[in-house]
């Protein structure tokens, strides 16, 4: 029979301590060391792993990579958290083992990348946690085997919380085929994107600040189109440049590519070189209740081969196009665009204007219900409906369009499909409330007043023109 004392519960422990205190009033005291020794053999206490016990010294001038690696390996092996004190540690080439958990003092524990290969890497782990740390890439070059200062591959539950990360030579955080969450972090100064998540598995990116990155804010991509399910909620993204160039591949605050079933809600995105929120080939996407301020190009974009987009209750102030749901020629279709405010658009874009150009409130093409939107201050057209023959089953009803060059520019090219334009309010549209276009050329007068019956694919009814 085993002689090992059984483990006791917290309640039993407190009761025994209370009983011991009472007994101490009437019985001689045992030596403190004996009592403590007996107590701690009977309780399974699992806590942190102090960094000083591993030989780590805060604010030491030398590189402490080897000591740091030994400390995290020992802590992970024991199922403990490596708790770091305030101070600065210079480290490089840290491999995070299965179960690694590193916690610092928020804003005070600083890990500086020493520039000899990679910062923090993990692969194939069930769970990795980083919290309360300041990670400084110091703009030191990363090795070719990684693309992020924190680069995790195949981690089932990656938890990165209350982390400040700056100065990454590539991406700030790169997650490949990971689940988990990035929460309440601040990421700035990345040479590529602040957060890049590819082939995610139920990832949540919530409550972060991503700012001043050279080519992207938050990127959620897949290698091939498929269900992704990432939740992007309550983030603040600002001042995102497009240093690499292009016409929309870079410079986006939030960019979804080939990732299906993604929700983008409640984010504040401002001052991006291209789009605030850009979804490319991303089916079943919801873009809801965001603010898109001073976008350099199209503020909110659902483009190319997608099926299913809900774009609702967003506030857009600035940009060259407010909302674009386009590329029916590539299979882009099926959308609800409802309850958005779009205002203060510009004809000046980041590259020479092409196709319909800039200064348009909304572009819509196929299988869409558009209602309850307010569009104000689009210098060219409030709405571009269809592009050549690429128009089908668009219902544009109960919207308000004012102070725009023209209200709705609808395609009247041969082969264009059905469009219903009804019960809308048009005010201060000097070039017409509803005009017919052949691609970019206006070829009719105001169809809201007369002439709509010439085009069998159009139903124009009960619109108010002030």
DSSP 348-406: --SS---TT-S-EEEEE-EEEEEES-EEE--SSEEEEE-BTTB-EEEEEES-EEESSSE
Average pLDDT over residues 317-345: 98
3-class secondary structure per residue, 391-436: CEEEEEECCEEECCCEEEEEECCCCCCCEEEECCEEECCCCCCEEE
Alpha-carbon span 103 to 84, nearest angstrom: 6
Residue for token digits 């990127």?
219
Average pLDDT over residues 45-66: 78
pLDDT at 52: 63
Q: Does residue 244 come out as left (phi exceeding 0), alpha (psi in the -120 to 50 range) or beta?
A: alpha
Secondary structure letter of residue 331 according to DSSP? T
Kindly indicate the confidence band of residue 29, based on its pLDDT and cuts at 50, 70 and 90: very low
Q: Are 68 and 56 in contact (CB under 8 A)?
A: yes
pLDDT at 55: 87
- Name the residue with higher pLDDT: 233 or 25: 233
At residue 438, what are phi and psi to the nearest 5 degrees? -105, 100
Stretch among 12-21, 97-106, 257-266, 286-295 having the lowest mean pLDDT:
12-21
Alpha-carbon span 229 to 334, nearest angstrom: 19
Secondary structure letter of residue 453 according to DSSP? G
Rounded to two decimals, the pTM is: 0.89
Q: Please give the angle made by the CA atoms of 187, 167 and 83, to the nearest 5 degrees.
A: 65
Kindly indicate the confidence band of residue 368, based on its pLDDT and cuts at 50, 70 and 90: very high
- Name the residue with higher pLDDT: 21 or 129: 129
pLDDT at 54: 76
pLDDT at 43: 34
Residue 446 has pLDDT above 80, yes or no: yes
Kindly indicate the confidence band of residue 51, based on its pLDDT and cuts at 50, 70 and 90: low
pLDDT at 30: 41
- Name the residue with higher pLDDT: 434 or 50: 434
How many of the other CB atoms lie within 10 Å of CB of 66?
A: 11
Residue 2 has pLDDT above 50, yes or no: no
Residue 33 has pLDDT above 60, yes or no: no
Q: Are 411 and 386 in contact (CB under 8 A)?
A: yes
Domain spans of the chain, in order of start: 10-41
pLDDT at 23: 38
Alpha-carbon span 36 to 328, nearest angstrom: 74
Kindly indicate the confidence band of residue 208, based on its pLDDT and cuts at 50, 70 and 90: very high
Q: Are 119 and 92 in contact (CB under 8 A)?
A: yes
Average pLDDT over residues 75-83: 96
pLDDT in tens, 161-204: 999 999 999 999 999 999 999 999 999 999 999 999 999 999 99
Residue 27 has pLDDT above 70, yes or no: no
pLDDT at 48: 67
Strands 441-446 and 434-438: antiparallel
Measured between alpha carbons, how far is residue 323 from residues 50, 254, 338, 344 in Å?
Answer: 52, 14, 11, 13
pLDDT at 26: 35
What's the mean pLDDT when you consider all of the chain?
A: 91
Residue 365 has pLDDT above 50, yes or no: yes
Kindly indicate the confidence band of residue 34, based on its pLDDT and cuts at 50, 70 and 90: very low
pLDDT at 116: 81
Alpha-carbon span 182 to 130, nearest angstrom: 10
């Amino acid at each position: 029979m085993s002689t090992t004392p059984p483990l006791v519960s917290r309640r039993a422990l407190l009761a025994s301590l209370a009983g011991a205190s009472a007994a101490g009033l009437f019985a001689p005291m045992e030596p403190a060391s004996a009592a403590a020794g007996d107590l701690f053999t009977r309780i399974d206490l699992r806590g942190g792993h102090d960094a000083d016990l591993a030989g780590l010294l805060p604010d030491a001038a030398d590189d402490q990579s080897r000591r740091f690696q030994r400390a995290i390996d020992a802590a992970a092996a024991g199922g403990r958290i490596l708790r770091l004190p305030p101070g600065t540690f210079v480290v490089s080439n840290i491999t995070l083992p299965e179960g690694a958990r590193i916690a610092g003092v928020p804003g005070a524990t600083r890990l500086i990348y020493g520039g000899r290969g990679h910062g923090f890497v993990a692969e194939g782990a069930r769970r990795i946690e980083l919290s309360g740390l300041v990670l400084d890439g110091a703009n030191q070059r990363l090795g070719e085997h990684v693309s992020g200062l924190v680069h995790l591959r195949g981690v089932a539950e990656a938890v990165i919380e209350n982390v400040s990360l700056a100065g990454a030579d590539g991406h700030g955080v790169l997650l490949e085929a990971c689940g988990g969450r990035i929460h309440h972090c601040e990421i700035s100064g990345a040479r590529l994107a602040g957060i890049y998540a590819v082939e995610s598995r139920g990832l949540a990116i919530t409550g972060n600040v991503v700012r001043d990155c050279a080519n992207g804010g938050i990127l959620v991509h897949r290698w091939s189109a498929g269900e992704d399910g990432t939740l992007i909620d309550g983030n603040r993204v600002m001042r995102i440049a497009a240093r690499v160039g292009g016409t929309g591949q870079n410079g986006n605050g939030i960019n979804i590519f080939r990732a299906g079933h993604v929700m983008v809600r409640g984010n504040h995105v401002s001052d991006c070189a291209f789009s605030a929120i850009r979804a490319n080939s991303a089916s079943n996407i919801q873009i809801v209740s965001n603010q898109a301020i001073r976008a350099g190009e199209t503020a909110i974009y659902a483009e190319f081969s997608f099926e299913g987009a809900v774009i609702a209750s967003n506030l857009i102030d600035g940009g060259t196009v407010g909302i674009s749901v386009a590329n029916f020629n590539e299979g882009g279709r099926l959308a609800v665009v409802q309850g958005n405010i779009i205002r203060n658009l510009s004809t000046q874009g980041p590259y020479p204007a092409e196709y319909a150009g800039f200064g348009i409130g909304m572009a819509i093409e196929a299988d869409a219900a558009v209602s309850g939107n307010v569009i104000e201050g689009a210098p060219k057209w409030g709405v571009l409906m269809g592009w050549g023959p690429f128009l089908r089953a668009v219902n544009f009803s109960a919207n308000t369009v004012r102070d725009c060059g023209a209200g709705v520019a609808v395609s009247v090219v041969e082969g264009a499909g059905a469009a219903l334009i009804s019960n809308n309010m048009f005010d201060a549209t000097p070039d017409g409330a509803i005009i017919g276009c052949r691609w970019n050329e206006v070829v009719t007068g105001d169809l809201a007043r007369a002439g709509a019956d010439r085009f069998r694919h159009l139903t124009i009814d009960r619109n108010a023109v002030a």
